[in-house]
Amino acid sequence: MNKLKDHMLIGVLLGVLIPIVLYAVLLTFLECMLVENPLRESTLQVIALFANFPLLRITLTKYQKDRLGRGILLSTFVMAIWYIFQHNLLEF
């Protein structure tokens, strides 16, 4: 991680790719290992989204890469807002 440049765009890309990859891995694992998936799709999406927070903490505290961390945080917020609107969790 020390060789990783401190750019916000790289943080945004990491913040988007890690939840997508984790979601795909979890979904594939559960479908291959279990006959019936015990988790709803929305639960898997939240688990994948929360995977960014340990990465964010490590990036900001251990490696002192503020712009990279801001990119991860930005993409996490955007995906959380997308999740809220996708599942109609706000009622106006």
pLDDT number for residue 19? 98
Q: Confidence band (pLDDT; 50, 70, 90) for 71?
A: very high
Q: Total structural domains in the chain?
A: 1
- Please give the share of the chain, as a percent, with pLDDT higher than 90: 84
**pTM of the shown model:** 0.90
Is 14 inside a domain boundary? yes
Is 91 inside a domain boundary? no
The predicted-structure confidence for 2-22, as pLDDT tens digits, reads as follows 788 899 999 999 999 999 999
Is 17 inside a domain boundary? yes
Is 1 inside a domain boundary? no
* Cβ atoms 72, 15 nearer than 8 A: yes
Quote the CA–CA distance of 81 and 2 in Å, as a whole number: 31
Domain boundaries, position 45: 8-86
Angle, CA 64 vertex, CA 13 and CA 5 arms, to 5°: 45
* DSSP line for 26-72: HHHHHHHH-SS--S-HHHHHHHHHHTHHHHHHHHHHTS--HHHHHHH
Is 34 inside a domain boundary? yes
- Please give the share of the chain, as a percent, with pLDDT higher than 70: 99
